[in-house]
Amino acid sequence: MRLLQRHLCMIAMSLAALSSAQAAPLVEPTLHIKPAASGAGHVALTLDACGGQTDTRILSALVENKIPATIFVTGIWLKRNAAAVEIMRAHRDLFELENHGGRHIPAVDTPRKIYGIRSAGSPDAVLAEVESGAAALARTGEPAPKWFRGATAEYSPSAIAMIRKLGFKIAGFSINGDGGSLLGAKETAKRIAAAKDGDVIIAHINQPTHAAGEGVVQGLLALKDKGMTFVRLDDADGTGNHGTTD
């Protein structure tokens, strides 16, 4: 009986520890770049290519208006969008491609769902997501990525530490431009147009049927009309919280 009680106690403790780990708060890191030394200021535009196709409204506007951007690509998106990748590679002065993971799985090392997406769930799975994303980029002939942004842009603190040990900086943001590409064109344009010197904008370039894409273009052109310039993350001095860049 005593042995059984001890066994049951150990099971209860294990379940409690697992529950505590699952309940540990996630973090959504911010990122700012050093303000411009002169002029109207500058911002860093970052666009996630999670899966699906390419929003050519955004891609064409970036090329036509010579707006630099950092594109976070998944292995899934790379397989489906060879033509868009070639356009980006043809304009290396504008685009840098960075790591958004192999399969668009949140970099959280305990089992849970974030915005309905199942997390990696273990340290090994987090590492696999990050490393497979880098490998997918390497297969295209792109330079080794320096930045990582996980699916949903939320992380467990322990996952952040693991990703940093792999040598990646983690890209937070200061302005959520399109609400995961779910906002309307008007609200998206308003959010992006409100960017200030040093802001890092996040939006999406993989949802060509969403109204948000139109708003991304409108917001960026409004910033350009104000005299704001754009920089890629590799060309800026970015500082994030939660140990994401230091």
| Cβ pair 194, 5 in contact under 8 A | no
Residues lower than pLDDT 70 in the chain? 1-23
pLDDT in tens, 89-146: 999 999 999 999 999 999 999 999 999 999 999 999 999 999 999 999 999 999 999 9
d(CA 167, CA 199) in angstroms, rounded, equals 24
DSSP label at residue 110? S
pLDDT of residue 93: 96
pLDDT at position 3: 42
d(CA 106, CA 37): 36
**pLDDT at 67 (0 to 100):** 98
Under 8 Å between Cβ of 228 and 40: yes
For residue 23, the model assigns a pLDDT of 55
Helix (H), strand (E) at residue 73: strand 69-73
